[in-house]
Amino acid sequence: MTIRNWFIFFFKALVIGGVVTGALAMIIRWDDAFSPYLASGEYLEFAASLLWFVFLGMTMSVLSQMGFFAYLTVHQFGVNIFKTLTLWNWVQLLIIALVIFDLIKFRFMPLADTQAQLLLYLGLLAMLVITGLVVAYFKAKWTKKHAFISALFFMIVITTLEWLPVLMVDEKDVDRYVTLLLFPLLAVNAYQLLKLPKYNAKSEVDRMKLEERRKARAQASKAKA
């Protein structure tokens, strides 16, 4: 990918993370982070609170992008180590199952003090898995069928790893952050997975155009000589 296209790719992912987090924070954190300022007429504080959540979403976007490019390396290592893509896909499926089990047994169940909390966490897990399946389906449809397992692995396993620092926080208000910060990760990861081929293709076209311009300049220089 060319630097120009990488910058566009990075900036759009940054915007997606900020917008998704800011919009959802207005819903999830309305009663404690927005409503009091609006009721008292403290509009600057209201705007500052919104900007804080937008910045938080952008931070999660950067984390998501780091995870994405790390996974591209891990995926290549996996194919090389296990020799065939089929075997590596089975390993990825096993890891997906282990990660889902870990989330339920060692993350959600210890965090859930009430039935309502457990239902919330299971709902978030369902959102993670369903989003992963949908994104993997379109990834396979738009590229290659064998990309389904790798896309599902990225959307579930890598998103969980990026989400893990929030899941490990033991605070009173952790449920809201666990809920809030899952969605920018899903949105940015889905964007990266589905849009990367477009930017790679565009970069290839840009390189070809650049090479053509170089050849044209070289021919023009020869003609003048």
Total count of domains within the chain? 1
Domain residues for 125?
Answer: 60-199
pTM above 0.75, yes or no: yes
pLDDT of residue 47: 94
Report if residue 129 sits inside a domain: yes
- pLDDT band per the 50, 70, 90 thresholds, residue 3: confident
Whole-angstrom distance, CA of residue 115 vs CA of residue 110: 12
Among 47-51, 69-73, 110-114, 214-218, the least confident range: 214-218
Determine the Cα–Cα distance for residues 13 and 57; give it in Å rounded to an integer.
Answer: 10
Residue 115 lies in a domain: yes
Strand stretches in 119-205, DSSP E: none
Tens of pLDDT, residues 106-123 = 888 887 778 888 899 999
Listed in sequence order, the residues at least 6 apart from 85 whose beta carbon sits closer than 8 Å to its beta carbon are 79, 146
> What confidence score (pLDDT) does residue 113 get?
79
What is the rounded CA–CA span in Å between residue 178 and residue 158? 16
> What letter does residue 170 receive in the DSSP assignment?
-
95 part of a folded domain = yes
User: Of the candidates 114, 119, 158, 152, which has an alpha carbon nearest to the alpha carbon of residue 135?
Assistant: 152
Does residue 83 fall inside a structural domain?
yes
Whether 222 is covered by a domain: the verdict is: no
Task: Give me the phi and psi of 171, to 5 degrees please.
Answer: -125, 165
Confidence of residue 84 (pLDDT cuts 50, 70, 90): confident
